[in-house]
Structure 1
Amino acid sequence: MSKNNRNNSFQEQLFSWANQKGQKVIITSNPLLAESTYQELEKKHPKVSLFPHTETLPYDFFSPSKHIKNLRMQALSGLLADEINILIISIQALMSPCPDKAHLLPFELLETNKDIDRKNLISGLQNSGYERKDIVKEVGEFALRGSIIDIYATGYDEPIRIEISESKIESLRTFDPTSQITTQKINSFSAIPPYEYALNQKGINLFKKNWRNYFDTFEEDSDVFKSIAKGKAEEGSEIYLPLFFLGKTSVINYLDKFDVVLLDKNVLKEIKDYELLINERYEEYRYDITRPLLKPSELFLTKNEFKSFLKDREVTNITFNNFNSKIIMKDKSKPIQTKKEYNHQIPEIDDRVVHLFHGIGIFKGLKNIKTRSTSNECLEIEYRNNSKVFVPIDSMHLVSKYFGPEEINIDELGSKKWERKKTLAIKRTFDTAAELLKTQAKRNLRKGKKYQIPKNEYFEFCKEFQFIETQDQKNTILEIEKDLQDSIPMDRLVCGEVGFGKTEVAMRASFISAFNNSQTCILVPTTVLAQQHYESFIKRFSNSPINIQKLSRDITVRKRKEIFSHLKDGHIDIIIGTHALLQGSIEFQDLGLLIIDEEHRFGV
């Protein structure tokens, strides 16, 4: 059977199963399959939901992103409210801990034209872990401005603006956090906590009590304990979720009414692999007295517990396939696009800003300006001599954040100096733009090599990656794959925190280059980093015929000459090295890809 026929058969099986009555759960062998299955089913089923994986490793030092946390809490809240007919989840997400059901109960229900106790609402937000900000931009934040309260509540795609008049809710509106402009009027909304762990007094007391029962360590050595004891969130606290409640909880605890299961045939194998990863990381970090660990069975769902869950349910086993076959990567979602209507963000309080007509001033925050019949949110900008301009949110495209010398003076309203500076800046901008266009035109005229992606080999190479790709990582890899298949030479900057997968991105690009008979040169700033990369690449490419070598100052003269020779005749596919690679005497047979690691540390 051809691949297309297999995919069509799988699709038919999936849709037929999904159309059955009752509440159902789909369990896939990895998070990417869960995402692609969800993207396909949500087109036809309104009550389908995805419970995403945290995109962190077992016992990780990091917390999930705010976006991931919001999606997870949204799904759990939907399960609790009986609003979901089909839940899609990967086995990794199912095995990972989640909050107790009681934690998901709304602490406040707000409705228009109903009384509101402003003080109690603010206290409830703070006790649940919401963070007060001058301006709301992310989930878990709230802001106060007179009679206005903004809340970016967990479980919502946009923040909510509450307008209060004489202790009553006059209006509830969702708004764009980037532009601050209203998108929709709503009649009610409920708020649930922003974190998967409880930061109210009950949760903190239970955490401290359980910590002391579980661990024989000095509390003041632990940043997590000290932060939680003060009611503050701390990165990586999710590994202590059972301590905030009466024991461990997984999504299984939310699935009492889900009697029908569609199971990926590879799930049991993945359980074994994931349990191995959990145990490896537990053994690696268990002796850190500043971060004591719960045993795997006390935190994660076990294989026996999973089998017990399946025991009393109707289970259908099928082989899952990816829906899209054009791109080799397992996930086909496109990079997230920002809204085109508003590309101006609200600045921070006391930031210098530039108004197109008035010049450089200081942003003093949002202010609600009331006239006889209307109320408008405005940006308050202060100029010299304490003069002020109030810019309606609808006109915020006239305001941008200032970038330049910090000692610059703010402008004076009505002065002609700003017009002169603006005219000169526009002229210089046109000159710079002309130079950039000229440079880009020259680059576009050059023709590079169009790489072919070896589908089967590349798929197997990607599959050997032992971690779960983050969304940003997946987006970056997709863009680089596209670049490599284009005839225009790639010129791309990849940015990311340490440990977030930039090296894997480089490895996949190097793999494609090598299979197109082109060489890859990886330039690093230090000998130590060269050795680390060399060892990582050797391990990652161990199942491929690709030849990898290292060139740095610790290489002998004889070995160096041998490397030079093999680079010239093409026997080396990937070369990793320091400044030694910049010698004019080095010749490549066909250098197709240059990767500069930590390029800011090079004086070239």
Structure 2
Amino acid sequence: LRERFPIDPRRCPVYQDLKGGGAPAGIEYYLPLFFDTTATLFDYLPPSALLALDAGVLESAEAFWAQTGERYEQRRHDIERPILPPAEILLPTEHLRQQFNATPLIETVAREHARFGEAADLGVQPAPDLPINVRDAEPATALKSFLASYPGRVLLASDSPGRREALQETLGAAGIKPSVVANWEDFAALADEAGSFATVAAFDNGFAISEPPICVLTERQLYPDRAGQPRRRRRSDRDPDSIIRDLSEIAEGSPIVHEDHGVGRYRGLVTLDVGDTPAEFLEIEYAKGDKLYVPVAQLHLVSRYSGASPDAAPLHSLGGEQWEKAKRRAAQKVRDVAAELLEIQARREAREGRALQADRAMYEQFAAGFPFEETPDQQQAIEAVIDDLARERPMDRVVCGDVGFGKTEVAVRAAFAAAMAGKQVAVLVPTTLLAQQHYQNFRDRFADWPVRVDVLSRFKSAKDNRAELDRVERGEIDVIVGTHRLLQEDVKFKDLGLVIVDEEQRFGVRQKERLKALRAEVHLLTLTATPIPRTLNMSMAGLRDLSLIATPPQNRVAVKTFITPWDASQLREAFQRELARGGQIYFLHNQVESIERRARELAELVPEARIRIGHGQMPERELEQVMLDFHRQRFNVLVATTIIESGIDIPNANTI
């Protein structure tokens, strides 16, 4: 490395890692420095090898080679992380082309792009889409016609045994009764038998073979609008309490609380002689350097400090009055809260609420319209909410999960049950933009059902909003989405049965007081990614029911975090990677005063990016419009302050 590059070993992380016996990230790009000669894949292939190339391989290789050359030119002078020329570590495209020309080759191309005389038809076609619509009176008409006319055998492949049984039930009701086979081998062995068969198999797509005539249909053909969630081994059920209460060991220097003496700092375990017997004690340091030694046997008197900023925790004085006064104030607050909770709970228990229950068959049809497979946590949350609604007392449940983990579908199922039971639903959100997003989601899900959904929004005129409220009062709207405007005294419902609150922590004290009153009267469902401590404590105490959605959805991968000095070329590369996949970028900037200058710098660095600015000092409507445009992908880079924390699901934004 030192012979090849003019590096300063002290400033080169790669050199330091190698010297210490470690393997730095990206060590494979220094492979030629470890060996006299290196080999390619083609050096390992026997002369008789046959290559099969998918369409467009060479075009992709050429694009990659050009991109690699551009990145090399950008970073070739980096003396801290020196890099070799691409030709030393990668196979040039021209070399690749020569190898392909010298090797027996099968190239797959689409039929319409085949050159006459050079192409052989493999006799394989994509399977046709034969959608099953469970809402139709005849849900499998297309499949029935296909089976009647197809000359060979048809295999219906499901993702799991449960999905296969559900498919068999649907087909059985339509008069189609496929025979069950254990796997593909058993199906292939039935060469002389015609008809339809069902199995569990992991085919990505269906296909049809001309000779012998065999057609494989997967759920992509039968449910083309439905995206599957990859099957994962079911984990043992975990109590939400264990997730929240599973705390690590107390670190030395952390603040802790003694029941009788207040807040001090934990200084570790010490061994002291008590009489003739050594014993272990917790050493706690208080204000003015005073020490308290707590026997391990009295560990129950010590608890973790739960206040804000542990580093700045206020230490109490041993023997002082401060801790006793704080305990008396806390006890009074506890009594006040307890009285309030008892009153609400008594009103809830005394009120004989109406159970909200949809017809089971209708509910199953509605659930089938969800275009994804529910994650295990999401399914548990849905079942818990539906069970709560079916009881005679008002529900008060908190559903906690990250943005994009599927909380909205839980709310949609609850709203369906309430609407089908003849009750109205209010969906309460903190911002106009989030109201628009929920409105669109609810509209999409209820499009095929007699459920009227509308929204109160600043994007509408005052006259239109007043008309919506009149329709709500007359019972002409089943689901109304809105901000805190829904909590005002002039909003009247004909028969409100369910209130759904999203991002509860964003509402003010006055709105929460109104929610408290509602809690005793109607079913209440709270959705949150970041529950406020009071909500969380009430859930932990059993005063509010809690469901956690912790399983990420399909294709959600772990976040990778890189911490580096400011580097324009590295930044440009990060932008290009995200924009090349059609994604969007948040660029977080911490100063409103210089945010426009930063946006101009980024525009010069990445001219192909479409950049807009958003910050908290902008007029509220202007800021909402910026966020709405970002959600609709009208630009791809948002330079913003912390206002991006708004609960809005922008799944296309993949890089911060």
Q: Larger Cα Rg: Structure 1 or Structure 2?
A: 2
The answer to whether the superposition gives a TM-score over 0.5 is no
Higher RCO structure (Cα 8 Å, ≥6 apart) = 1
Q: Output the TM-score relative to the length of structure 2.
A: 0.39
